[in-house]
Amino acid sequence: MSNLTFQQQRYLSYAVRWLIALILIFFSIFPVLWILSSSLNPANTLASASLIPQNIGLDNYRQLFTTPETPFLTWIWNSIKISSITTVLSVTITTLAAFAFSRFRFTGRINMLKAILLIQVFPGLLAMIAIFTLMTQFESIIPMFGLDTHAGLILVYLGGAMGVNIWLMKGFFDTIPRAIDESGMVEGASHWQIFSQLILPLMQPILIVVAILTFIGTYGDFILARILLKSTDQYPLMVGLFIFTSGQFSQKWGPFAAGALLGALPIMIVYLVLQDYIVGGLTQGAVKG
Amino acid sequence: MSTATQMLDKMPGEGQSITLSTVLWRIVLLLAIDGFAIWFATRAFGEGFVSLGLVAVLITASINYIILARDMYPLRWMLVGLFFMLMFSVYPIVLTVLVAFTNYGDGHLLTKQQSIEQITNERYVPEGGAAYSWTGYVSPNGDYALWLQNDAGESFFALPGQPLIPASDTQGVGNLDDKGIPETIEGYTRLNAIQVATNQDIQQIQFGSEADGVQIRSAREAAQLQTRFAYDEAADKLVDQQTGAEYLPVVGRWTAADGTELTAGFRENVGLANFARFFQSSAFRGPLTRIILWNFAFAFLSVFLTFALGLAIAYIFNDPSLPGRKIIQSLLLIPYTIPSLITILIWRGLFNNQVGVINRTLTSLFGIAPAWTVDPWLAKLAILIVNLWLGYPYFMLICSGALQSIPKDLYEAATVDGANGWTRFRRITLPLLLVAVGPLLVASFTFNFNNFNLIFLFIEGGPPIAGSPTRAGHTDILISYVYNLAFAAGRGKEFGLGAAITIVIFFIVAIITLFQFRFTKMWEEVGENV
């Protein structure tokens, strides 16, 4: 080692690190490559799948789009619709609440913050029975917000909007100097004007992070949607994809692979394009603790 | 205390000019909300949803208070969020908690009132009593009908589920034979004696309305059905009119002195019995102890492994001069970017015992095919591998951010003092990093402690634990065990016990979460702002 020049040592260290990286990358993208090759393999069972398919074809994709039992395009559209609406409403709710927690002092403030967190960690699985009953009751009062409707599902998602994100956002509001508020107050601005015209523009990075995370979280939700939605046409993608696992999962591997890949693609692109935003947001939130 | 803080410490809302238009807006808003709430609550009470109606009234009252009371100003900013949280999060949780103190589940699904109604609706064919002679008819779609004649010489046409129709009101009656029985009735064909004798179906059907039912008793006779059970409200017991047996309510079951029970049980408060079963029942204890141990081990190992790998990657590649660093990071991030449901299902395919690629590769390379889904330890290993794959990118991101925030001069000072790479990592990097990511480690622990999706979608808790009184598997964690108690098909549903275990899980997680805040900066920060 000591015989090597500084430059050589550096190249050696790069080489070693790239070798480690290649092993890790293999681990990280292996399932993705596998699903890609399965989706292109016309022999669509798990047993006949191989990393490099014998003959390549789009049969699985064709099957996915044309089988009436699996309306794939409807599922994707449902997912995007539900997730977008939930994201917009949820981020609005969270931002307003976090601003209040950051800027106002009122009795019960700390306890409310604690309670929000504890409610969030309650294992919601059994509450599904109660939520299901609640939505059945909603159905007979206001049918458009009942079971098997996207509106009803979104309502239930919004029930979880006040959660960890409040803490993350409140942390960010706290970092914005109070002097900004003060300058606004001197000018005679109301709280609302200070919030919307002075503070909100500064919050843009964290708003994007929270919006992306909410969108992805809703897009990936499975259990609530599965319990509250009944008809195949109303399913979001995750519930739809789960259909393939019923019965002989390994026999429907090909169409599942195609659907999984197409379903994962939008989120993957969002992540990789906005990587720096997400990393920045997560780590700032994290370092702040 | 700065001037700004002083200003903010004033009663919020003070110093805000209250104009006529804001007052008007507030009144219009309140009228709209209250109008809707009154309509909603009325409908709810009308439909018999008492608790939903009460919750709606309570929430609306709070909304009114928050909008009208001056010192509630900060809460107006989170009014919508609070509403959704109370209605769709807190209210279901409260209902769930209440269920934990009942025996709600299969055999106890009804309220007591409903169970009495259901049982007293039961009818039986008495030995004596009002009797008819009958003739059967059948329609082309297989619906049966009866022509009934009583001793007084009156005739009726009887269809299932409808009140008896007197002969004079019956539509489409054809010629009567010598006994006064129609040879044809429009839409129906008369059954002959052989058809009647060989027909089992018609004997099971209840004709006439619910209150005034008639059923066939013998080849010639049909009898007026009678209520089988009578409810004695004063003594709170059900009396069997046929046998005279008395049934008393015993823990949600109508039970006779000889121990026989009626099928329709009801929901009843059982106090802490569900918790006692969880902590004491020896039949449950075996599987439960295993599940709890594995639950903690799984959560701990998942956090430890994902953090270790994430930190290692961040540490190794935390060098801006490394060529292609950005590409490496992007590729290593991929597991994090795919919805976990999809990747868990993919891994389920990869780990398939017979045709999965992992076993096919192992067979061709080493001639072995581990039974991933059959062997308890291998199943646990597979789950940890999958969770490592799912979880390391998160800590990779977190740690690379945290590493950059550690002051460089600390390392320089340590190097001057003669510390080598490992010592620097152990004495500087790790402690500082843990301060920053500690809360996230705890949060990750609580998340994995209830990581239902992974356990359920990957392996459904299997392989099963032999001899367990309820469905339980070697890889089940508490939450998936609860899922089986409450939802698994084929076994009795035990909502009450499930809810009790949910509360136990909640206490474990809540204690960890509160502990986390006691010792972290997040907590101090909140304290500092008070």
pLDDT (tens digit per residue) in B10-23: 444 444 556 778 88
Domains and CATH numbers, chain A: 6-61 (no CATH), 71-243 (1.10.3720.10)
Is pLDDT of B524 > 60?
Answer: no
A86-90, B7-11, B84-88, B297-301: which has the minimum mean pLDDT? B7-11
Cβ separation B99–A242 shorter than 8 A: no
Residue B489: strand, helix, or coil: coil
Cβ separation B513–A117 shorter than 8 A: yes
A223-232, B165-174, B194-203: which has the minimum mean pLDDT? B194-203
Which ranges of B281-324 does DSSP label H, i.e. alpha helix? 282-316
Residues B154, B167 contacting (CB under 8 angstroms): yes
Mean pLDDT of B176-188: 79
Cβ separation B75–A287 shorter than 8 A: no
For residue B494, which of B104, B4, B7, B47 has the smallest C-alpha distance? B104
Supply the pLDDT for residue A45.
65
Q: CA B48, CA B52: separation in Å to the nearest integer?
A: 9
Residues B274, B100 contacting (CB under 8 angstroms): yes
Question: What is the count of residue pairs from A and B with beta carbons less than 8 Å apart?
Answer: 296
Cβ separation B74–A104 shorter than 8 A: yes
CB-based contacts of A121: which residues, under 8 Å, 6+ apart? B446, B506, B509, B510, B513
Pairing of strands B155-158, B144-150: antiparallel
In order of B24, B142, B157, the CA distances from B146 in angstroms are 69, 13, 6
Cβ separation B84–A158 shorter than 8 A: yes
Is pLDDT of B1 > 50?
Answer: no
Residue B261: strand, helix, or coil: strand
Cβ separation A283–B9 shorter than 8 A: no
Q: CA B346, CA A86: separation in Å to the nearest integer?
A: 27
Is pLDDT of B9 > 60?
Answer: no
Is pLDDT of B322 > 90?
Answer: no
Is pLDDT of B323 > 50?
Answer: yes
Residues in chain B: 530
Cβ separation A191–B16 shorter than 8 A: yes
Bridge partners (DSSP) of residue B185 are: B173, B188
**Which residue's entry shows tokens 């009436």?**
A68
Is pLDDT of B303 > 90?
Answer: yes
Higher pLDDT, B424 or B516: B424
Cβ separation B52–A134 shorter than 8 A: yes
Report helix angle B452-459 to B340-350, nearest 10. Answer: 30
Which residue of B337, B388, B476 to mutate against A (max A Cβ within 10 Å)? B337
Q: Which of A25, A104, A141 sits opposite B331 (nearest CB)?
A: A25
Q: Rg of chain A over CA atoms, in angstroms?
A: 24
Residues B338, A280 contacting (CB under 8 angstroms): no
pLDDT in tens, B40-55: 999 999 988 889 999 9
CB-based contacts of B67: which residues, under 8 Å, 6+ apart? B26, B29, B30, B76, B79
Supply the pLDDT for residue B527.
42
- Considering only alpha carbons, which residue of chain B is nearest residue A110? B526
pLDDT range class, residue A38, cuts 50, 70, 90? confident
Which ranges of B48-171 does DSSP label H, i.e. alpha helix? 50-68, 73-76, 79-85, 91-99, 112-120
Provide, as residue numbers in chain A, all residues whose Cβ is less than 8 Å from the Cβ of B529. 174
Is pLDDT of A284 > 60?
Answer: no
Residue A66: strand, helix, or coil: helix
Q: Which of A104, A156, A250 sits opposite B355 (nearest CB)?
A: A250
Is pLDDT of A175 > 90?
Answer: no
User: What is the rounded average pLDDT for all residues in chain B?
Assistant: 82
pLDDT in tens, B53-70: 999 999 999 999 998 888
Cβ separation B330–A272 shorter than 8 A: yes
Residues B99, B495 contacting (CB under 8 angstroms): yes
Which residue of B77, B295, B343 to mutate against A (max A Cβ within 10 Å)? B77
Distance to chain B for A73, nearest Cα, Å: 17
Provide, as residue numbers in chain A, all residues whose Cβ is less than 8 Å from the Cβ of B526. 110, 113
Long-range CB contacts (< 8 A, 24+ apart) of A131-136?
A131/A156, A131/A224, A131/A227, A131/A228, A131/B88, A131/B92, A132/A227, A132/A228, A133/B95, A134/B52, A134/B88, A134/B91, A134/B92, A135/A228
